[in-house]
Amino acid sequence: MEVESLAREMETAVRVVHLASSLCVKVQEKLRLPSSTNGNGGGHVKSKEDDSPVTVADWGVQAIVSWVLAEVFGTQNLSIVAEEDTDSLSKSESLGLLHSVSNAVNEALSEAHKYCLPKPDKPLGSHDILKAIGRCNSTGGPKGRHWVLDPVDGTLGFVRGDQYAVALALIEDGKVLLGVLGCPNYPVKKEGLRNGCNQSGAGSVSKGCVMYAKRGSGQAWMQPLIPGGYPESTTLLKASTVDDPVLATVCEPVERANSNHLFTAGLANSMGVRKQPMRVYSMVKYAAIACGDAEVFMKFAQSSYKEKIWDHAAGVVIVEEAGGVVSDAGGRKLDFSKGVYLEGLDRGIIACSSTVLHDKIIGAVYASWESSSL
């Protein structure tokens, strides 16, 4: 598919992520209210079977993106792979939560026209909300076109008032064609993330942006988040030119369950990295590399952990089009053609701002691996 033919898909994806990010900002503000200090965000947070949190924003974003994509592209051949389902939201004890999701969705969609997106003739009912969320039940695969959505990547960061991302990508025949990341708490001022990677951006000149890229364009872009509207300004993103590990800034996941911090620390030390790692929630790590705030993202999960495509698709294409490199620890490109999971992943994931730095890290991985306990 030619890059130029993706204009409609790209524009729709960017605009709907702006709209979805505005919903997230409002929900996160409610989570910070004194009445939300009871451990479950005032009823806005629920635990999934794996004890990870899911919020009104997770379901709300999924409903909005699904509904807009269906309105723009039709439902006949619409395939959406997304993280959330309707199982727990459909239960009788979740009526209050469903009501909160419906309110958040309808409040956001009432402003859809400000983003040049379709707007429903009347507020969506609970049935419509559940239908939109449930529509996102595709499992992807090697053939066809699939939208891939993580409605709130880094929900734990979201609940804690920290970094998170709305991530939307389009995959066709196993190849990521475009990616969009909404980062509502990203400190947009120069080197903002380096100066406070685990802060929500309070005190910075401005915060919140949407980053996006199309495969093969050689360009990645950033727009500021504007409350209740679509921005006119756009900034070209370029990955850092630093290729000396001594000068590099390394990102890694916050949660120890998702990455082996000891191995990454040993690997960084063996390469001469001097700076302390930035531990960042969500795909914001990819965003930091794309805009030059960091040079390396490394993740080495336990062998039993399986990476999901919605946690990486959008970030990978944005980093690569900004001039960076992403691969598994064996140097192979990530394979998005196997369904929901990144099957065949060699040990871990490495994203770098340059080929030179990437090659050095791959070499260090091979040298360090045998002594690790992964």
Assigned CATH topology for domain 245-372: D-Maltodextrin-Binding Protein; domain 2 (3.40.190)
Predicted pLDDT at 204: 40
Assigned CATH topology for domain 6-236: Fructose-1,6-Bisphosphatase; Chain A, domain 1 (3.30.540)
- In sequence order, which residues have a C-beta less than 8 Å from that of residue 69 and are 6 or more positions away? 12, 16, 78, 80, 147
Nearest to 124 by CA among 63, 54, 70: 63
**Angle, CA 103 vertex, CA 100 and CA 106 arms, to 5°:** 150
Is 128 annotated as a binding-site member? no
- Counts for the chain of helices (H) and strands (E), in that order: 9, 14
Q: What is the pLDDT of residues 107-140, one digit of tens each?
A: 999 999 999 999 999 999 999 999 999 999 999 9
Task: Identify whether the C-beta of residue 224 lies closer than 8 Å to the C-beta of residue 209.
Answer: yes
Q: Which residues carry out catalysis?
A: 58, 155
User: Two tokens at 92?
Assistant: 């009788």
**pLDDT at residue 200 is higher than 50:** no
Distance CA 183, CA 368 (A): 34
**pTM to 2 decimals?**
0.92
Q: What is the pLDDT of residues 282-299, one digit of tens each?
A: 999 999 999 999 999 999
Segment 346-372 shows an average pLDDT of: 87
Is 173 annotated as a binding-site member? no
Q: What is the pLDDT of residues 231-284, one digit of tens each?
A: 989 999 999 999 999 999 999 888 776 677 788 888 888 888 888 888 899 999
Distance CA 165, CA 180 (A): 10
In the chain, the percentage of residues whose pLDDT exceeds 90 is 70
| Residue range(s) in the chain whose domain bears CATH number 3.40.190.80 | 245-372
Segment 295-322 shows an average pLDDT of: 94
Is 335 annotated as a binding-site member? no
| Residue range(s) in the chain whose domain bears CATH number 3.30.540.10 | 6-236
